[in-house]
Each structure stands twice: as structure tokens, then as C-alpha cells.
Amino acid sequence: MPKLSERKKQMVEKMMRGALYQAASSVMSEYGWPGLTMDRVAEEAGVSKGTVYNYFKDKKELVWFVITNLALDIEERLKNIIESHQSCAETVKEIVMKELQGRREHGHLATAIIHAFHEEPELRKRMLSSDHPFNRVDKMIEDLFARGMEKGEFRKMDPKAMQSVFSAILMGISRRWAGGRLDIGTDEMSDFIISLLNEGIVRKDN
Amino acid sequence: MPKLSERKKQMVEKMMRGALYQAASSVMSEYGWPGLTMDRVAEEAGVSKGTVYNYFKDKKELVWFVITNLALDIEERLKNIIESHQSCAETVKEIVMKELQGRREHGHLATAIIHAFHEEPELRKRMLSSDHPFNRVDKMIEDLFARGMEKGEFRKMDPKAMQSVFSAILMGISRRWAGGRLDIGTDEMSDFIISLLNEGIVRKDN
Amino acid sequence: MPKLSERKKQMVEKMMRGALYQAASSVMSEYGWPGLTMDRVAEEAGVSKGTVYNYFKDKKELVWFVITNLALDIEERLKNIIESHQSCAETVKEIVMKELQGRREHGHLATAIIHAFHEEPELRKRMLSSDHPFNRVDKMIEDLFARGMEKGEFRKMDPKAMQSVFSAILMGISRRWAGGRLDIGTDEMSDFIISLLNEGIVRKDN
Amino acid sequence: MPKLSERKKQMVEKMMRGALYQAASSVMSEYGWPGLTMDRVAEEAGVSKGTVYNYFKDKKELVWFVITNLALDIEERLKNIIESHQSCAETVKEIVMKELQGRREHGHLATAIIHAFHEEPELRKRMLSSDHPFNRVDKMIEDLFARGMEKGEFRKMDPKAMQSVFSAILMGISRRWAGGRLDIGTDEMSDFIISLLNEGIVRKDN
DNA sequence: TATGAATGAGATTTCATTCAT
DNA sequence: GATGAATGAAATCTCATTCAT
């Protein structure tokens, strides 16, 4: 029965790629993007360098997998937040709080990924394909704003522009924390961003 | 008259450093931060590798010079804008328009510099010193918001937080353009950001 | 049985380091200390440059290994000589003969090592640690003289001073041979040194 | 009258070479042999690098000049000592004291020169030519021992062998001092060497 | 003749990738 | 499939030497 062994093989493969994802993330967090060497990943994962190459054709493949997985994590978190709220305004509020919190904790990782992305033209090109998780994350946020407008919670505007600005804020603040250039607390910053968005994008009835 | 030759020498030195700055910027724009090799800079500038080392002690020095010069350019632009307006709100408006425009043109460079900054601990340390042009730029924006509050143009808030968010927006949008992930025009984006800020931070009298 | 493969690996490692030691010695003999480049060592050993770095972290490590091995060789020879004699005077005699012979054959190497030692502050520091083979060699000779004094074979003197002079003679003569500046035979030179140690140079009238 | 300007030119040349000798010695003392760069010599001498090349064809020429001059200094010192004594034994005694003293003070310089000499095969070859000051120094010492034998002050032996050993001792002890491996004082060491030469090390019972 | 900017060969070191076992 | 030793391209930096001014 070849199917069983086939399934088993696939499972092993999946687990191995997962383990290597963990290892690569960990190395990136600790050493940053330029410190992400195949040796370190292999050692962190407890396998040999050759093994890494058995599961990933080259370094780019590995990095791509890491980026994608990270985006999937974010996508998952977002989905949960979105599904558990009725009000779009409330949803945005919670995204700000949770994401700022989460990214502050993994600041270096996010930064490292940005580096990777900007560094490798090939990665950049692949990222532009519309069904990448990163793009889906962007789309989810865009849709959230669009929905808010339809429901009358937000005033009319270009949802794509709004999403870009929103993401820029989250990313920029995270990076400032990671770089030690900002000593405002997470809560204060959340409150501030939310108040900015509220009084800026919420329609005022009177 | 030794002064003449002395001045001449200094001019030559200045021109050479300027040329190397141009070359390094150009290489960074094209190849990104990790593609910034001394060989490429030398070739782009049309001199030999050794010559680069005659003007910059090592790679860090060169990168530092590039970063600083870029920041000086920005500082200069900002100062001009600030000095030519009475209203803080108007000033902010023009900063958004001009900076988005300017950074859009040098998008890759800005991104590359961010990488350099996050990558080299030594650069990071030097950058945190408060009188670096980059910090002065931040300070100028922070002061602008503070002044706006005093004058009653803006509502009360933490000017430091506001500056962080403002800079994050400009930087993030520039990066999206540079990465080809945003196809909204400069004018539209300016307008959107300004409207967001206006209705968000401007005090409403009634 | 993992031990087998482990042992095999260690053997391979040992052999490779041995081969690189041979190669480095050979290069040093031919080109002197500053001619000891990693490229030459790799080529002489018939491996690639990268391989050398797989076995020695950097050049200093390699040089250190070479120095230490040479010193171990000398230590071994000395120990054998010392153990096989009763009389200290006889021991000294044989050391002179054997060492002059041995060093004459590896003259350039010894010289090159002296250079390495004087040139690299780090090597110097490590060498001053008291349990390095080179220091043990010095100590063995010092002890030999001290023992000779206790037994009444030698007259009283500072054994450390005596060892320094003794080593200086052996080293200096080797260097002269290596430099082609001395055309006296090994046997004659041995005899002369021994007679000098025995009687001094001043004629005693009686 | 071309002769005058000719003489003047030669004087300038001589002074310049002398100044460069001083500069090179000074640099060698401070930085050791591998630190002897043309830049440092030029700066120490207060002239430009190009000027150094106007007086010395290349680095080897400069080093050769330095070595030769140093040997001339030693030759001068030796000649003075030899001429001012009747007894050969006394002369040897004073040479030991003076040379140990002098070399201890310029220990690093002597060491550096040894490096230079062993490093450059060409220098080595030129040094073997019999009328080099270094060889004349050796010859003077050899003659001193030969004369001592004729006069009956020293017992019969090969004067060349004796000179080799004598020089080896002086050089070896200097090097040990320079390397920080010997903490016996100059006077004690002089006394010890002289007593060794006088009587040897073996105890004579009678 | 003096200068010193420019040169480029050459040294050390890193690390992605291959391949024999 | 796993291993990890071997590889060599590529990067940074030094410094003897040349040559236009």
C-alpha cells in the first residue's frame, strides 16, 4: 500500500518544514536578517545543513517559507479578531492593541523580514502575486474599512489608502520600538492611535 | 599663498566625497543595502576601490556619510517649509505633500538606509545621539505639533506620539511605493492623509 | 555504534590538522613568516582555502597550532634525552648535539616562528602563559641546570640566567646556519659549545 | 660652477637619507617590522611619501639602508671600546656590558631588523656580501678573540665559532628582554655572561 | 624636486551550495 | 534521506608603488 507511506512521508516533510520555520524565526529574532545563515538555522533546528537543503531548494526558498508562515500567523490572528466583533470601529481598536502588543514582542523579527523582503528582488516579485498571505492580510484590513463605510461607521474614503496608512502606522511604530527610538508605552500608543482614527475617520452625526 | 592650494584641496575632497555619496546612493537605490559593496561604489564613481578608502576610512564611514547627507537634505527641505508658513496646519499639509513627493522619488534609498540602520549596531548607536540630523528632523516635526497645540490649532495630545505616527505614515507610504505595492497617486494620497489628520487632530470649535 | 563514526571523525580531523600543520610548516620554511598566507597553505595541503577555515578558526589559530606542535616535538626530544642520562653534564652535552642537529634541519621554520611570536601581540600573550610547551622546554632546561648544581656537577649560579644563555646559543647558532652565515660543521660547533660550558674561554695558568 | 651645486645636492641627499633613517628606526621601534609602512616613515620624517621614493627606489632599499646604518652605529661603538682597552678580556667584558645595555634600550628595533632580514630573501643575499658593516662587526669580534688567543689571554679555539656563540648570546638575551620573557637585570646578566666566559659552568674541585 | 591622490594586487574571512558517504 | 566536509565566489581592507601637477 504505497499511499500510507506516501502520506507518512508528507507528514514528515511538513513537520520538518515547520521545525525549520521555527528555527529560522528564532535565528532571525536573535541575529537579525544578515545573521540568518544556513548553519545557524540547521544548528537551531538540530539537523545538518544538508538536511535543510533537502527540504528547501536554497536560502530564498527557506526565507520565503518563513515570511509566508509569519503572514499566515498574522492572518489567523486578524481573522479571529474580526470574527469576534460586530462593530468595525471596535474591531479596528482591538487590532491596534493586539498587533502593537504582538509586534512589540517580536519587533526584531518583523524588522528582519522587512529586510529580507526588500533585499531580494526575487522575493519582492513573488510577494506581489495577489494571493500571498501578506496581501490577504492587507485585503482583510481594507475590507474591514470598506465594510465600516457601508455600515456608516466610517466616513467615505478610499479603503485602500486607509489600509496603507493603517499598516504603515503599525509597522512604523513597531520598528521604532525595536530600534529603541520610542519610549512611549504600548497602551498609551494604542489609545493615541485609536483616538486619532476615531476623530478622524468616524462620521460625526449631528 | 598656501591658503589657495589648501582651499583647492578641500574643494577636491568635498567634490570627491560628494561624488562617492552620489555613487553610493545610486548603488543603494539599484541593489539595496546588502548590494552596497565597495567595489560597486568604486565602479559607479569611476574610481578604484583604494580611492574610496582614501576618502572614507571604512564602509561604515561611507554609509554614515550617506545617511547623514540624506537627513540633511530632508532637514533643509523641512526648514524651508516651516519658515514659509504661519499656520501649523498649513505647514503640516505642505510637509505631507512635499515629503511624499520627494521620498517617492528616492524610495529605495530611504528603505536601504533603514536597513543599514537596523543592521549595524554601531550606526544605530551613533544615530541615537541627539544632534544627528535624523533626530533633528524628528524634533522639528514634534515641535511643529507642539506649537500647533499651543496656538490652539491642534487639540491636546502627546506631541512625541504624534510625531512618531506622522513619520511612520510618511515612511511607510514611501516604502510601499518603492516596493510597488501601492498604486495610488501622490496627490490623492496627500489629500487623504491630510484629511485624516485634519479631522483627527484639529480642534473643532462650536 | 556511534562511537566508531565518532572516533573516525576525530581521526580524520586529526589527520587534516596534521596535514595542514605540515603544509604550514613547509610554507613557512620556504617563504618565511610573512609569506605564510592562507592561500599558500591551502594550496600546499592540496585543499581549498575554505577547508583550512573549517579546521582553524583563523590564521592565528593555525599559527598557534604550528608553534605548539613544534614545541611539543622539542619537548619530546628533550625529555628522552634527559631521561636516558644520569650525569647532568652528559645530558647537556647530548642536548647540544641533538638540538643543533635537529634545528639545523628546520632552521627556517624556527626562525619564522620567532617572527610570528614577536609580531602578533596575541600570540605573545598566550605564549607567556606558563604551561605552554615552549615554556615547559625552558623550564626543563632550567631544572636540569639546577639539578646539576645540587649534585655538585655545576658551580653555583642563577639557573634561569643559565637557561637563557643556553637557549640563546642554540637558537642563535641555528639562525646563523639557516641564514647561511656560518659554515662550521655541526659536530665542531657542538664540541666547541660544550668545551665553552666546561671551561670558559680564559686560559688558566698553572 | 657646477661643482658647488653638485656638492650641495649631495649634501641634501645625505641629510634626507639620514632623516629617513631616523624616521624608519623610530617607526620600527614603535610598531615593529610589520608596522613599518612607507606612510608612517614619510609622516614621521615630515615629508611626503613620494619624497621617500625619490631617495629610495623601493621599500627594500630603505630597509637595507636602515640595517646598514644600524650596523654602522654598532661598528662605531665597538671600535671605540676596542681601541680604549689593552686587555682583550677587559674589552670583551665591556662589550658585554655596553651592548646588553644598548640593545636592551633598543630591543624592539633589533628584533624588527632581524625580521626584516629573514623576511626578504634579497636582503639576506645582499647581507652575505663580505664587506657589509654587519659582517665587519662580526669580524671585529672574531679578531678580538683571535688576538686574545695570540696574547695568551684566551685558550686556543676557533675564533669564528667563538664569535658566533658570543653574538648569539647578546642577540638572544636582547630578544628575551624585548619579548618580556626575562626579568633578570642588565648588570646581573652581564656579570653572569662574563663569569661564564671566564670559567665555564663546571665545578672544578681541587 | 616635492607632493599625495590614485591605483590594484593581494590578504583575511564568510557562507551558500554541492556531493560523496 | 541524512550528513557535514569541501568548495570557491565574494566582501572588506591594506599598502607598496606610480605619476600628474
- pLDDT for A83 beyond 50: yes
What chain D residue is nearest to C33 in terms of C-alpha separation? D119
Give the burial class of D52: count Cβ atoms within 10 A of its Cβ; 0-12 exposed, 13-18 middle, 19 or more buried. Answer: buried
Residue A1 — very low, low, confident or very high, per pLDDT cuts 50/70/90? low
H helix or E strand, kind and range, residue A133: helix A133-150
For CA atoms A179, A180, A186, A189, give the dihedral sign.
negative
- Using the CB atom, is residue B38 less than 7 Å from strand E? no
- Which residues face C154 on adjacent strands? D202
H helix or E strand, kind and range, residue D152: none
Q: Which residue has the cell 686587555?
A: D87
The stretch A155-161 carries a mean pLDDT of 90
Q: Which residue has the cell 624616521?
A: D23
- Which residues face D202 on adjacent strands? C154
Residue A202 — very low, low, confident or very high, per pLDDT cuts 50/70/90? low
Residues of A with CB under 8 A from a CB of B: 32-34, 111, 114-115, 117-119, 121, 124, 127-128, 157-158, 160-162, 164-165, 167-169, 171-173, 175-176, 178-182, 184, 188-189, 192-193, 195-201
Distance in Å, alpha carbon of B178 to nearest chain A alpha carbon? 9
Note whether B58 and B123 are within 8 A (CB): no
A42-50: list long-range contacts, CB under 8 Å, 24+ apart: A45/A19, A45/A20, A47/A16, A47/A19, A47/A20
- Which residues face B202 on adjacent strands? B154
Distance in Å, alpha carbon of C172 to nearest chain D alpha carbon? 4
**D179: chain C residues, CB-CB within 8 Å:** 117-118, 124
Residue type, C146: A
- Quote the pLDDT of residue B41: 96
Note whether D158 and C188 are within 8 A (CB): yes
Non-local (6+) Cβ contacts of A72 within 8 A are: A133
Note whether D163 and D141 are within 8 A (CB): yes
The stretch A96-120 carries a mean pLDDT of 78
CA closest to F2 C1', residue: A51
**C179: chain D residues, CB-CB within 8 Å:** 117-118, 124, 127
Is there a common fold for C1-56 and C68-206? Answer: no
Rounded Cα distance, D202 and C88, in Å: 10
Chain E positions under 7 Å from a protein CB? 1-20
- Quote the pLDDT of residue C1: 47
Strand nucleotide closest to residue C16 (CA to C1'): F5
For CA atoms B100, B106, B107, B112, give the dihedral sign.
negative
The stretch C4-27 carries a mean pLDDT of 87
Non-local (6+) Cβ contacts of B2 within 8 A are: none
Residue type, D31: Y
| Listed range (A155-169, C147-161, C170-184, D71-85) with the worst mean pLDDT | C170-184
Give the burial class of B131: count Cβ atoms within 10 A of its Cβ; 0-12 exposed, 13-18 middle, 19 or more buried. Answer: exposed
User: What is A52-64 written as a DSSP string?
Assistant: HHHHSSSHHHHHH
Of A121, A169, A195, Cβ closest to residue B169? A169
Please tell me which residue, C201 or C79, carries the higher pLDDT value.
C79
Non-local (6+) Cβ contacts of B65 within 8 A are: B17, B20, B21, B24, B56
| Listed range (A202-206, C44-48, D117-121) with the worst mean pLDDT | A202-206
Q: Taking the CB of residue C41, how many other CB atoms lie within 10 A of it?
A: 25
Of A157, A160, A179, Cβ closest to residue B124? A179
- pLDDT for B204 beyond 70: no
Non-local (6+) Cβ contacts of B138 within 8 A are: B163, B167
CA of A62 to C1' of F21 (A): 56
Strand nucleotide closest to residue A53 (CA to C1'): E17
pLDDT in tens, C17-32: 999 999 999 998 888 7
- Quote the pLDDT of residue D111: 72
In chain C, % of residues over pLDDT 90: 46
User: What is C17-53 written as a DSSP string?
Assistant: HHHHHHHHHHHHHHH-GGG--HHHHHHHHTS-HHHHH
SS3 (DSSP) at C202: strand
Note whether D101 and D108 are within 8 A (CB): no
Non-local (6+) Cβ contacts of B106 within 8 A are: B25, B29, B70
Task: Provide the mean pLDDT of chain A.
Answer: 86
- pLDDT for B202 beyond 60: no
The stretch A112-133 carries a mean pLDDT of 76
Note whether B34 and A59 are within 8 A (CB): no
Residue type, D71: A
What chain B residue is nearest to A124 in terms of C-alpha separation? B179
- Using the CB atom, is residue A38 less than 7 Å from strand F? no
Task: Provide the mean pLDDT of chain D.
Answer: 86
Rounded Cα distance, A151 and A201, in Å: 13
pLDDT in tens, D91-103: 999 999 998 888 7
Domain B66-201 falls under CATH 2.70.150.10: no
Distance in Å, alpha carbon of B4 to nearest chain A alpha carbon? 45
Rounded Cα distance, B77 and B99, in Å: 9
Rounded Cα distance, D100 and A121, in Å: 67
Rounded Cα distance, C100 and C152, in Å: 26
| Listed range (A66-70, B163-167, C199-203) with the worst mean pLDDT | C199-203
**C111: chain D residues, CB-CB within 8 Å:** 118
- pLDDT for B164 beyond 90: yes
Q: Which of C55-59, C70-74, D83-87 has the highest mean pLDDT?
A: C55-59
pLDDT in tens, D24-54: 999 988 887 778 899 999 999 999 999 999 9
- Quote the pLDDT of residue D4: 67
Of A111, A160, A184, Cβ closest to residue B184? A160
H helix or E strand, kind and range, residue D97: helix D88-105
- Using the CB atom, is residue C49 less than 7 Å from strand E? yes
- Quote the pLDDT of residue A115: 72
Chains within contact range of chain B (3+ C-beta pairs < 8 Å): A
Residue D163 — very low, low, confident or very high, per pLDDT cuts 50/70/90? very high
H helix or E strand, kind and range, residue A173: helix A159-178
- Using the CB atom, is residue B19 less than 7 Å from strand E? no
Please tell me which residue, A114 or C172, carries the higher pLDDT value.
C172
Q: Give which of A32, A55, A173 is closest to A116, Cα–Cα.
A: A32
Q: Which of D202, D204, D205, D206 to mutate to test the interface with C (most CBs of C within 10 A)?
A: D202
- pLDDT for B140 beyond 90: yes
Rounded Cα distance, C128 and A202, in Å: 75
* Backbone torsion region of residue C74, taken as left when φ is above 0, otherwise alpha when ψ lies between -120 and 50, otherwise beta: alpha
SS3 (DSSP) at D109: helix
Domain coordinates in residue numbering, chain A: 1-56, 60-201
Nine-digit cell at B160? Answer: 512625541
Strand F and chain D: which residues 90-149 have CB closer than 7 Å?
Answer: none
**C182: chain D residues, CB-CB within 8 Å:** 160, 164
Strand nucleotide closest to residue A39 (CA to C1'): E15
CA of A196 to C1' of E20 (A): 63
Task: Provide the mean pLDDT of chain C.
Answer: 87
Q: Which residue has the cell 511605493?
A: B177
Q: How far is CA D23 from the centre of its chain?
A: 17
Give the burial class of B66: count Cβ atoms within 10 A of its Cβ; 0-12 exposed, 13-18 middle, 19 or more buried. Answer: buried
For CA atoms A175, A177, A181, A186, give the dihedral sign.
positive
Of D124, D176, D200, Cβ closest to residue C200? D200
| Listed range (A106-110, B144-148, C18-22) with the worst mean pLDDT | A106-110
| Listed range (A119-123, B37-41, B148-152, C53-57) with the worst mean pLDDT | A119-123
- Quote the pLDDT of residue B62: 93
SS3 (DSSP) at C154: strand
pLDDT in tens, B10-68: 888 899 999 999 999 999 888 877 789 999 999 999 999 999 999 999 999 998 898 88
Strand nucleotide closest to residue A59 (CA to C1'): E16
Distance in Å, alpha carbon of A89 to nearest chain B alpha carbon? 15
The stretch A175-202 carries a mean pLDDT of 85
Rounded Cα distance, A30 and B119, in Å: 12
Q: Cα torsion at B137, B143, B148, B150 (round to 10°)?
A: 180
**Alpha helical stretches, state H, B84-120:** 88-105, 107-119
Tell me if C158 and D184 make a contact (CB, 8 A cut-off): yes
B and A make contact (3+ CB pairs below 8 Å)? yes
Nine-digit cell at B23? Answer: 555613487
Note whether A182 and A173 are within 8 A (CB): yes
Note whether C192 and D161 are within 8 A (CB): yes
Tell me if C32 and D119 make a contact (CB, 8 A cut-off): yes
- pLDDT for C67 beyond 60: yes
The stretch A110-123 carries a mean pLDDT of 73
Q: C68-206 adopts what CATH topology?
A: Tetracycline Repressor; domain 2 (1.10.357)
Tell me if A176 and B161 make a contact (CB, 8 A cut-off): no
Distance in Å, alpha carbon of A147 to nearest chain B alpha carbon? 18
Rounded Cα distance, A51 and D47, in Å: 60
- Using the CB atom, is residue A49 less than 7 Å from strand E? yes
Q: Give which of C150, C170, C161, C10 is closest to C77, Cα–Cα.
A: C170
Rounded Cα distance, A39 and A47, in Å: 10
CA angle C13, C16, C20 (to 5 degrees): 140
CATH architecture of residue range(s) B1-56:
Orthogonal Bundle (1.10)
Nine-digit cell at C127? Answer: 605564549
Domain A60-201 falls under CATH 3.40.50.10540: no
Nine-digit cell at B173? Answer: 507610504
Rounded Cα distance, C171 and C192, in Å: 15
What are the φ/ψ torsions at residue A103 (nearest 5 degrees)? -70, -30
- pLDDT for B206 beyond 50: no
CA closest to E13 C1', residue: C58
CA of D129 to C1' of E7 (A): 36
CA of C48 to C1' of F7 (A): 6
- Using the CB atom, is residue C50 less than 7 Å from strand F? yes
**C160: chain D residues, CB-CB within 8 Å:** 184
Q: Please give the C-alpha separations between residue B140 and each of A174, A189, B81, B97, B145, in angstroms, as whole numbers.
A: 22, 20, 11, 17, 9
- pLDDT for A109 beyond 60: yes
What chain A residue is nearest to B138 in terms of C-alpha separation? A181
- Quote the pLDDT of residue D38: 95
C and D make contact (3+ CB pairs below 8 Å)? yes
- Quote the pLDDT of residue A156: 86
Which letter, b or e, does each residue of A175-187 get, where b requires 16 or more Cβ atoms within 10 Å of its Cβ? bbbbbebbeeeee
Tell me if C165 and D173 make a contact (CB, 8 A cut-off): yes
Q: How far is CA D105 from the centre of its chain?
A: 13
